[in-house]
Chain A
Amino acid sequence: METNDFSQPIRQSTKGIIVIFAFNLVKFVKKFFVLFIAFGVSVFRNKSVGNITPTMVLLALIGVLIIILIIAILKYLNFKFHISKDDFHLATGIINKDNTIIPKSKIQNVYIKQNFLQQIIDVVSVKIETAGDKKSEIEISALDKPTALLLKKKLFKKAQIDTQAIEDAEQVNEPEVFFKVTPKRLLLEGLSQNHFKSFLLIFGFAFGLYSEFKDFLVELELENHIEGLVELDETAILNLIITNVIIVIGVVIVSFLFSVVKTFIINFNLEVVEHQKTIEINKGLFNKVSLSLTPSRIQNLVITTNRLKQYFGLHTLAVKQAMVNVKQQKNFNIVALEKAQLNYLVDKLLSNYVEDKSNVAKPRPYFMRISALEMFIFGVIINALAWAIFGMEMLWINAVFLPLAVLYVYIAYKKAYYIISEDFVTIGSGVIDTTTNILEIHKIQSVKLKQTIFQRPKAIASVVISTASKSVTIPYVQKSEAISIYNFLLYKVESQDRDWM
């Protein structure tokens, strides 16, 4: 296999049978899980249901396993692929034979993944993605690593030759590991995440539990309430505060742990390898993935950080490529980058990108009115909930809520900006996080001007810019400004005959 150039149809590694078997088994169990449980329980409880004994069930189960195994073996035997001059060929199917041919130039991306099972038996799966719809994705689920790397190289190298200069093929620089995350930085990354979401989730859960068993306590206290007002105010309120504080602290700790563990599992051993033209990301603990980023396929870059992260020098770079399914999109995040490393990567992925500080423009103050309105609605909901659940006393939360709301509106406006330069659009936003969205003008797919009936008298409008992977909005600018941005972007896209991919 060492000298394989993939010109002859070959099968995957024999271990593929195990992977296919496991995969089909999981699929089968998922489909019939409920049935299994219901049926199994009733059989074992009554010892027999209509002449069916546990032994028969066991036999049936073994039968099913054998059938799945046979299917896996057949699938394995009928799965062959090879590379011809310009195309990748794949033949699959036990009864219905499928023959897929993908021109190399149409291959979007080649991923190498390794899930837990694959890690144990030491194989990797290669996923080939094209620009078409989701159905045309191809996954070869078991190859040994050197073969997979070779295959990837073959597919990718040739695929690029027609778009880029042939000289690439000649000068093969040793790829260097540009960035490798340390556990310490991952820990910081996990800790400094925006905990609001996981916090709210866990808080909601904990609160549900708490209020369940709190119910009769409250009832007891209410009776006390009528008997002795003075006595209660001291102890009960103190108790209430203490329990609340304990709950909140517990929730905070759990949500921190949650974030940290999640960060570690996803980004374990995160590594950015720099190739001649592309950048490769390797990461994952249970699911190891290896992805390549080609600058020409990138549609948007999103940089996220927050106050705390900025202090630690942690930046997250999310790369949005065209036509990548949502699940895969998450894998294109590179976390815990230093500012310098971030700038270097951005520079590598977008040539000639400069953040032109002199061109910074801001939305109209109308922006604040909209965020204030949002906050107002949110406030009304919170108040209504608090009032409905706890009664009048709970309205003190407004004392906390109001300053936060004001801060929210102020920060949201302060952080909102946009820069339109010769070749790039940069849009900044965020409240807790600081988000920077960058896109190349020639990758724009469509431009939209949006104006509500209320904005018309004030001559305010928004511009929505869509690329193949994401839509971004320049919110609430002067109508004339919006029109000129609109015209400029269209002019840029239509006058330069540049491909978006």
Chain B
Amino acid sequence: MAFTNPQIQTEDLPNVEDVVLKPISKSYLKIIALNGLAFYSLILGALFGLKYLIKEAPFQNNFWYLFFGVLGLCIFSFIMSILAFKKRKYAVRGYDVIYAKGLIVHSVVTVPISRIQHVEESRSWLARHFGLSTLKIFTAGEAGSDLSIRGLQHLEAKSINDFISSQVDGNK
């Protein structure tokens, strides 16, 4: 075999920007909303609980300011998480898996399939109701380089899982 060592033009390399990222399932928005509502109502409930526990004047007098402050924060973070939903996207290429997320801090993580140690598909109780699952991809790296793609259609997750598993096994 003749050995060739052609120069690589960086422009010719496969570009992540050209990849059409798929949005995750719309139903996951419901899960985000439900989780969010449960969490915020817990916080607000705890606040009301404090109102009955703490009888001191400064707290009682300013209670409603505090309440609306917290409520405002909750609404803000709720809107943010709804908006950020659109940013949750993923793609599987022949040699890697890409996952993008985040509104305020947007990140695009790519894990080469050859570096994947194992894949796991997990479904919470709520997710099962909506026919969704989470795909967890583990690498050998620190916790930082593991991926977990939430809110995939169950079948989709399964097929990606199978694809990656076969690739990972094939490499060995």
The complex places the Cα of A471 from the Cα of B145 at a distance, in Å, of 8
A111 nearest CB across to chain B (Å):
20
Contact check, B104 vs A490: say whether CB atoms are below 8 A apart.
Answer: no
Contact flags (1/0) for A438-465 with B, using CB distance below 8 Å?
A: 0000001111111111001000000010
Whether the pair A445, B111 counts as a contact (CB closer than 8 A) is yes
A88 within 8 Å of B by Cβ?
no
Contact with A along B1-19 (1 / 0, CB 8 A): 0000000101101111100
Does B109 reach chain A (CB closer than 8 Å)?
yes
Q: Are A491 and B14 in contact (CB under 8 A)?
A: yes
Interface membership of chain B positions 52-93, coded 1 if the CB is closer than 8 angstroms to chain A and 0 otherwise: 000000000000000000000000000000000000000000
Q: How far is the CA of A451 from the CA of B17 in the complex (A)?
A: 14
- In the bound complex, residues from chain A placing their C-beta under 8 Å from that of B11 are 484
Q: B103 an interface residue at 8 Å Cβ cutoff?
A: yes
A446 and B115 form a contact (CB under 8 A): yes
Distance between B30 CB and nearest chain A CB, rounded to angstroms = 25
Chain A residues near B16: list those with CB within 8 A. Answer: 449, 483, 486-487, 490
Q: Is B142 an interface residue (CB 8 A)?
A: yes
A487 touches B10 (CB 8 A): yes
A469 to B96, CA, bound (A): 20
Report if A466 contacts B (CB, 8 A): yes
Chain B interface, number of residues (Cβ within 8 angstroms): 29
Q: Separation in Å of the A327 CB from the closest CB of chain B?
A: 16
- Interface size in chain A (residues, C-beta < 8 A): 33
B109:A446 contact, CB within 8 angstroms: yes
Contact of B114 with A by CB under 8 A: yes
Contact indicator A452/B106 (Cβ below 8 Å): yes
| B residues near A487, Cβ cutoff 8 Å | 10, 13-16
A445 near B141: Cβ-Cβ < 8 Å: yes
CB B102 to nearest CB in A, in angstroms, measures: 8
- Closest Cβ neighbor of B100 among chain A residues: A449
* Bound Cα distance A469, B107 (Å): 21
Interfacial chain A residues near B105, Cβ < 8 Å = 450-453
Knowing A453-B104, A466-B145, A468-B141, say if A497 contacts B111 (CB, 8 Å). Answer: no
Which A positions have Cβ atoms within 8 angstroms of B?
Answer: 131, 322-323, 444-453, 456, 464, 466-471, 483-484, 486-488, 490-491, 493-494, 497, 500-501
